[in-house]
Amino acid sequence: MKSGDTNFIGIANPNTYRSFVDEDWELEGLLRHFGDEMKDGHLLVCQMTEEGIEHSWKVDVRVDGESPAGPYLRRAEGFLEVTEGSLYLVDYDCLTMAAQFEDEEIPDRNCSQYRIELENGRYRVEIVQFYDVDQDKRIGTEECDLIIHFTPSDSAVPAERVFWCTYCS
């Protein structure tokens, strides 16, 4: 994932995610909104850095198969509902512009290139991070920085809040 603000990266269903928050949103309210949408399976969001370092993330998307093996920096799990055959990988710019302006859409022009095609249904989503951009340190595979692994599942547990978030209470 290149360009844009990648301090936070998300995976969104553009057909179900309610992106608009308020023209004058504050971070606490935005993070709460993300958490609410995550509980409903419309969005998953990860905080990728504590230092605000932007990075062009090398993301590997996998469907079915075995869960990514360790070692790794960190791992999170949630679920997403696919309704029209695709999800999108989105960056913080895309998420915040759509949160502030009702006429902005998910995905934006930049993130429209990060389409993930999937069969409609509910998926357990594992997100595994191998590269620590803050420490410039890699744990595990050299092949990618992040694996997003989708497994069809009717019993996936919803996420409660932004993954790895240092701003969330």
pLDDT at 118 over 90: yes
Instruction: Please tell me which residue, 167 or 106, carries the higher pLDDT value.
Output: 106
pLDDT at 155 over 90: no
Give the mean model confidence (pLDDT) for residues 72-101: 96
CA atoms within 13 A on the CB side of 126: 19
Which structure tokens are listed for 5? Answer: 């603000």
**pLDDT reported for residue 4:** 66
Q: What's the CA gap between 78 and 125, in Å, rounded?
A: 5
pLDDT at 3 over 70: no
pLDDT at 139 over 70: yes
Which structure tokens are listed for 89? Answer: 């990988």
